[in-house]
Structure 1
């Protein structure tokens, strides 16, 4: 349970007293002050001109491989690649096929270029071989000593190593080698030093693309070799998209305020802005506007339900609520306690609204999958609550099987698809089969969440945690259990990297959502902090950067 203090309600039932901090944001996002006419139109015209200029730069065939790779990487890091997906994919296909050649042996032995090429190819689902790093190792398979001073090369190797598969010992070694020597660099005041420090804090592969773009724009502005057209396009595009994102958040916060669940259900967390931030991590591009709104509302709703099961309801009440969700019929509402009626009606109303929207788009089939995963998570919440209230510690395997579902990531992956026009019935069917990439996704969510929340839950008397179950079953210490959970997460990342490249059943547009969900966990639970429940340190700066601050043009 999340709360220690208790009180006695009007029915004489002893319940926890909620002690979650209030929302950080007040009414900041409930007024939409953006001028949606002249300013975006002014931006849009210049953006179109600059986009055409950048498009010509990408497809120009007068560039060396190194120049081509740096250009593509810069465009991606600036958050602009969604404008040029076709062109970038075509250029990387040519690179993968060996169309572009390095000019001389010196470039061929350049660690920076080799690692950059490898990373870009794998990030775009090309199965680049890790043996290309063999030339940088000695007879013992260790990276050569003369690379220690190549900061640019080490940083490139560090980022590339985060895309490794199982069994790629050279990249396991590459990560250790690059991390060790980058951490020893004492020049954090320099431009390159600040980039190194940021990368060690947050690798590119596991970072949230929108946040990384925001950070890189600031870095790129200081780069003496910057392209002014690229920088201006990045700033204009970021600001224009931010206007759309604020408009969406306005819609969501108004909906949330009208529901008034926070005052009616005072035991629950008020985190609707953080819910919307989560959706920006999944997809920030303009074509996913409705998808973001639908996903954010679902996350806000499941957060309330989670707190109901985890922090408030009795076993009898939760059993009735679980059954009502299973039946999914407003007539069931009379069986529920008054506080649950509020939540139940809000949930059914929300999905009725989805149904109406999806029917208009000819995509009503998607709602079936959304409801199925909602029912699934409710059943698992009920099992978890029963374990805790009855003081039962399940076998670790049972805990994990149920915990994968209560992580919310089966639900959120499915819900992220419902507003995507490109998510066909086949894509949903593929996801329902729980493919390896999705299992890796929920594994990362489950174990990192468990590590981050363990100390707080232990202080509150929670015994049915993953760490406790593992310690109990395997007779290991807390430290050993924590270490194993981090190993499980690392192995899941390797699964994800490999599956992303090798999956052919669905498009990269689909699989990117799953990778992005995993990236959110790496950021939100950084340094074993629960950034969702306690957003002050972790998420507040991110939300300010993406939704409050803007770039001066």
Structure 2
């Protein structure tokens, strides 16, 4: 729920109507994304495309011939390609290589000398484990037992293996429930890596500058929970400083990033133009103007070129649901919202006359947007997808209405009731469904699967709800909002604020374990579909970093990411 102050009122039919109005800050972007640079982008494409194709073939041959390489070299190549943001070009080749690794996995290396080297063992064992799990292979965590003592604690001599520790740290973030060895790995590696950064490591240990940057960033943002496009941008900068860098990979990564950035900017221009023509910001002054942040969200879900239309559709939907959210949170009265909910449920333009003028603006925009989707998808033989999108929109406004009543009437529900409703108002049932509609690769069966609220999706919306509640709690508390998740939990279970926060973090961490496990064990849909769910969860970890609401207040959290992804190209 958006944070707000109850301070403004309007006179309606001679009755004083108190409206809770949130004084949101204006957009921080001005006209940065409202003018297309068509000529520049066209020139960019012509210059880059031919060279990119040549470089892609070189890298493809590197991956294909990787089966002739030692296991360490093969895994490092795949990991580098992925972290540079290039894996979407070589998904089949990478999958084939990892399938071979999994089929032959004995976690033994090519010769006894390498096998006895602790540094290589921990680094490569952890890297193999993480890559396999991230690609849907059920790798066993038993591999890490050889790095522990009889008491289950990790061997102390591993503290000097910074490269191995970092690899183990990243691997620990794809753990399942019950994998106590990886729970221990998180604690052990975090402590060791923290020590290395503050200079408490052994005097003889020298950490290279790229490695130091990698460590610092990893402790801030693990690979598994990071947004792929942001991580690619950061890793390209780090990789450029590595003495062992491959110039072909580096060149391809920079050119490809720039080319994709030009496509993303065109999409954002299209979305910004649509938003500007709607002019909802001036017509509905209570609503947040966050269309750039809405588009950023879609880049977190999928950045690849084949999802261009999907991003545009999803960005428009996020912008629309943001306005609807603010209507429920920040302006509408109980009676108005009751009618608004019913009118959306009926989904008929003839119902619009029942609404007050400001709601008519929002309602017409909503129906027009979904008519646009219906027309576009019908041409692709995918009009069935709109039904699911409308269904989740109706679901969320029903829950928004319940939440608004609770707040306006000062009612604090039991925590279980709060969560049942709050999972829906998190928006993540809606956004997951909408993310599928523009994906030509997503069949009707995938929507049916999602409607059943599978375990991975419940975990996804739980992360969104819980982390959002943690991040916004202090502000909401200061402004007198009682029906927050933390307050409801404290009341139901009779615990302190500190204990409630601790439990919320545990709930989120357990939900991540569900996501990790379901990505491997859920076989009803493709990995392509599951990736959208994972990426939505990753967005929450980034947008609400350090308990800040980066969407409502993007200046500190999101502005640097958006600038890196959509404003600044790489020098090539």
Equivalent residue, structure 1, for 2:235: 216
Structure 2 residue 194 is matched with structure 1 residue 183: yes
Equivalent residue, structure 1, for 2:157: 146
How many angstroms does 1:4 deviate by?
Answer: 1.4
Equivalent residue, structure 2, for 1:482: 501
User: Matched residue of 2:68: which SS?
Assistant: coil
User: Matched residue of 1:184: which SS?
Assistant: helix
TM alignment of 1:50-129, pairs within 5 A: 50-60=55-65, 61-98=67-104, 102-108=109-115, 109=118, 110-129=121-140
CA distance in 2, matches of 1:99, 1:324: 58
The number of equivalent residue pairs is 553
Structure 2 residue 48 is matched with structure 1 residue 43: yes
CA change 1:99–1:18 in 2 (3 A) is: closer
How many angstroms does 1:263 deviate by?
Answer: 0.5
CA change 1:410–1:24 in 2 (3 A) is: same
User: Matched residue of 1:484: which SS?
Assistant: helix
User: Matched residue of 2:555: which SS?
Assistant: coil
Equivalent residue, structure 1, for 2:203: none
Q: Which ranges of structure 1 fall in alignment gaps of 5 or more residues? A: none
TM-score (ref. length: structure 1): 0.99
How many angstroms does 1:391 deviate by?
Answer: 1.3
Structure 2 residue 317 is matched with structure 1 residue 332: no
CA distance in 2, matches of 1:179, 1:6: 46
CA distance in 1, matches of 2:459, 2:185: 23
CA distance in 1, matches of 2:465, 2:185: 27
User: Matched residue of 1:148: which SS?
Assistant: helix
Equivalent residue, structure 2, for 1:372: 391
Equivalent residue, structure 2, for 1:291: 310
User: Matched residue of 2:391: which SS?
Assistant: helix
CA distance in 2, matches of 1:261, 1:407: 22
TM alignment of 1:339-358, pairs within 5 A: 339-358=358-377
Equivalent residue, structure 1, for 2:291: 272
Kept in 2: contact 1:454–1:465 (CA 8 A): yes
Q: 1:217-265: per-residue Cα shift (whole Å, max 9, x none)?
A: 0000000000000000000000000000000000000000000000010
How many angstroms does 1:99 deviate by?
Answer: 6.8
Structure 2 residue 182 is matched with structure 1 residue 171: yes
Q: 1:468-497: per-residue Cα shift (whole Å, max 9, x none)?
A: 000000010000000000000000000000
Equivalent residue, structure 1, for 2:541: 522
CA distance in 1, matches of 2:430, 2:499: 31
CA distance in 1, matches of 2:548, 2:44: 39
How many angstroms does 1:105 deviate by?
Answer: 3.4
Structure 2 residue 464 is matched with structure 1 residue 453: no
Kept in 1: contact 2:55–2:252 (CA 8 A): yes
Structure 2 residue 24 is matched with structure 1 residue 23: no
TM alignment of 1:280-319, pairs within 5 A: 280-319=299-338
User: Matched residue of 1:14: which SS?
Assistant: strand
Kept in 1: contact 2:301–2:536 (CA 8 A): yes
How many angstroms does 1:393 deviate by?
Answer: 1.0
User: Matched residue of 1:536: which SS?
Assistant: helix
CA distance in 1, matches of 2:251, 2:8: 57
Kept in 2: contact 1:165–1:495 (CA 8 A): yes
Which of 157, 173, 176 is equivalent to 2:168?
157
RMSD: 1.2
CA distance in 1, matches of 2:365, 2:354: 16
Q: 1:369-398: per-residue Cα shift (whole Å, max 9, x none)?
A: 000000000000000001111111111111
Structure 2 residue 514 is matched with structure 1 residue 509: no
CA distance in 1, matches of 2:44, 2:157: 53
Which of 532, 535, 541 is equivalent to 2:551?
532
CA distance in 1, matches of 2:229, 2:547: 22
User: Matched residue of 2:315: which SS?
Assistant: helix
User: Matched residue of 1:217: which SS?
Assistant: helix
CA distance in 2, matches of 1:479, 1:106: 50
Kept in 1: contact 2:3–2:472 (CA 8 A): no
CA distance in 2, matches of 1:131, 1:18: 52
User: Matched residue of 1:9: which SS?
Assistant: strand
How many angstroms does 1:189 deviate by?
Answer: 7.8
Deviates more, 1:190-199 or 1:435-444: 190-199
CA distance in 2, matches of 1:167, 1:107: 31
Kept in 2: contact 1:111–1:156 (CA 8 A): yes
How many angstroms does 1:193 deviate by?
Answer: 1.2
Q: Which ranges of structure 2 fall in alignment gaps of 5 or more residues? A: 200-206
Kept in 2: contact 1:34–1:243 (CA 8 A): no
Equivalent residue, structure 1, for 2:202: none
CA distance in 1, matches of 2:405, 2:510: 31
Which of 141, 145, 148 is equivalent to 1:134?
145
